[in-house]
Amino acid sequence: MTTGERVQAVVDYGFTEREARFLVLVMRHGGLCVKRQYAAFAGIANGGDRCNALFDKLTRRGFAVGVDCIHNRARLFHVHHKPLYHAVGEGDSRYRRALAARAVTERLMRLDAALVSPELDWLTTRPEQLAYVAARIASTSSQTTVQPPAGDRVDLPASTFPIGVDPTGRVVLVYVATKPWTDDFRFFLGAHLRLLTVTETWTLRVVFPPSLRRVVVD
């Protein structure tokens, strides 16, 4: 499915186009969100009537459940409604299931990273990403005498990090840093090397949780 088809499928459930675009991003980047993320996406006041209207609709219709975050700093919303996921081609998504508290932060960070560039075509599933890499290799091979890395096998790490693609072909790789050491990051880069060698322009977006920001700055 295309992004436009997914958005229209959610609109058909009674949401506005803006609400639908946000919900598609939420369902494909972790299934979790907080109000400030929708407010930032929509350019509206956090906690205002227009912001609250979406979450009231989600919980009232049973599409999502709201739970208080640690220290009651915000209310977390988990979009879990199977028919809604099925409508966007994600009926078997693991994001519908309940998750441990330690996984919440990473999922919210992935959504934050996507919300920086919501206009990108986000590839969030492994089959989508593998198909894109294979297509890029095939395209590069047909357009240049410089061959991509040898080997017929196209592979990527089994990660949950999305890949964004803009209309010009620029690729955005997202990496959520949850550990204060670099071994996982180096593996991530190495695993995406083949994609980068057949992509003319790309951006690496590294997202840090508050707990690691001091480590990075220092």
What is the DSSP track for 174-216? Answer: EEE--SSSSHHHHHHHHHTHHHHHT-SSEEEEEE--HHHHHHH
Is the pLDDT at 141 greater than 90? The verdict is no
What is the percentage of the chain residues whose pLDDT exceeds 70? 85
d(C-alpha 176, C-alpha 105), whole Å: 10
CATH of domain 3-102: 1.10.10.10
Least confident of 23-32, 70-79, 80-89, 154-163: 154-163
For residues 137 and 193, is the Cβ–Cβ distance under 8 A?
no
Residue 183 has pLDDT above 90, yes or no: no
**What does pLDDT average to over the chain?**
86
Q: What is the rounded average pLDDT of the residues 86-115?
A: 89
pLDDT at 182: 81
Mean pLDDT score, 73-95 = 92
Banded pLDDT at 106 (limits 50, 70, 90): confident
- From CA 93, how far away is CA 168, in angstroms rounded? 29
User: Is 40's pLDDT higher than 70?
Assistant: yes
Q: Residue 152: what pLDDT? A: 45
Residue type, 126: R
The residue that leads in pLDDT, 107 or 152, is 107
Please tell me which residue, 110 or 70, carries the higher pLDDT value: 110
Q: Among 103, 126, 129, which Cα is nearest to 31's?
A: 103
Domain boundaries, the chain: 3-102, 121-217
